[in-house]
């Protein structure tokens, strides 16, 4: 199911009107194992792990039909977009570095500034 509450019947109707794919096909498309895709369906992923940011879990929409788990190319696109932020959103470098890396970068900047006479 998606990251927000949805009417299950509407979700099924939407997925059935889209380009259906198996977990294996999605895995091949994204270069991951099918078990990762299945995990995204049932356990979801936490989009942001930075301290102080509320952790929101996103799930890959899916249906079970004839014993098979199916999703759609469009659901995969929605799943990725939900984790990526709004279009044009750039994650600052400070969010990608650990506290130690940020501290060392600040120390290097202070050293360089001192050498330049700031």
Residue-range domain boundaries for the chain? 8-85, 91-118
State the pLDDT confidence band at 97, using cuts at 50, 70 and 90: low
Neighbour-count burial for 4-35, b at 16+ CB within 10 Å, e otherwise: eeeeeeebbebbeebebbebebbbeeeeeeee
Tell me: the pLDDT tens digits for 13-64? 888 889 999 999 999 999 999 999 999 999 998 876 666 666 778 899 999 9
- φ and ψ at 69, to 5 degrees? -90, 125
pTM of the model: 0.63
The three-class DSSP label of residue 107 is: helix
Q: What are the start-end ranges of the H helices in the chain? A: 8-16, 23-30, 34-42, 73-84, 93-96, 99-116
């Amino acid at each position: 199911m998606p990251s927000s509450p949805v009417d299950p019947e509407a979700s099924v109707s939407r997925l059935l009107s889209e380009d259906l794919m198996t977990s294996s096909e999605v895995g091949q498309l994204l270069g991951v194992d099918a078990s990762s895709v299945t995990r995204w369906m049932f356990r979801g992923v936490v989009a942001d792990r930075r301290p102080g940011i509320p952790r929101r879990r996103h799930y890959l929409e899916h249906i079970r039909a004839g014993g098979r788990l199916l999703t759609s190319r469009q659901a995969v696109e929605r799943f990725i977009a939900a984790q990526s932020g709004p279009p044009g959103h750039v994650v600052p470098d400070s969010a990608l570095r650990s506290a130690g890396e940020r501290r060392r970068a600040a120390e290097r900047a202070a050293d360089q500034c001192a050498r330049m006479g700031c």
